[in-house]
Amino acid sequence: MKFFVDTADVKEIRELNALGLLDGVTTNPSLILKSGGDIKKVTKEICSIVDGPVSAEVVATEYDQMMREAKILAKIASNVCIKVPLTLDGLRACKSIRSDLNRDVNVTLCFSANQALLAAKAGATFISPFVGRIDDTGSDGMELIAEIKTIYDNYDFTTEILTASVRTVNHVKQAALIGAHVVTAPPATLRALVSHPLTDKGLAAFLADWAKTGQKIG
């Protein structure tokens, strides 16, 4: 499974990338706002840190303006992945960006298997189902991931399932068990994957025993 981090915080991205955990980055207008930076400058800096795709989202809602914004975002760096909403105009833009600009496209705000099917038909590189927001409505977001996986496998679609709106480490585990290709999560959630009380307890015991030996390594 690929790990993307869902943030526009350059400091967080540098730290996680140094750990060797990152395969890419996802951003959106809300995360750009939170970063306090200019979208072009922030995106360019992020693209210089990671080798993988960096999703930068158009904010237009109609096709022609989406394409104008996509061309501007594509010029920022070679690893910019254009992010478009799952609307009819967004799907049309997806197809054009893939064919005319030859750039990766992340189709976002997916909440149904039918939407995911349309995105794959449009040639999306990634589809982003928002599992956390679905959970918020009382439904099971991971059920959607399973449905999309079945449909994509049925027809050998190459679109990768990018599990988004991840709230917990359990979301990550469930997505991996289902076979989602990618998960994008906030920095805190990615770091929490390493935590387990028995690991902490075992390490403390090892260190206590080592201290009793009076030895040093190096």
Residues with catalytic annotation? 83
* CB of 4 closer than 8 Å to CB of 182: yes
Secondary structure percentages of the chain, helix, strand, coil, to 5: 55, 15, 30
How far apart (Å, rounded) are the C-alpha atoms in residues 95 and 76?
20
- Residue 26, classed as helix, strand or coil, is strand
Tell me which H or E stretch contains 55.
strand 54-57
* CB of 23 closer than 8 Å to CB of 55: no
CB atoms within 10 A of CB 140: 13
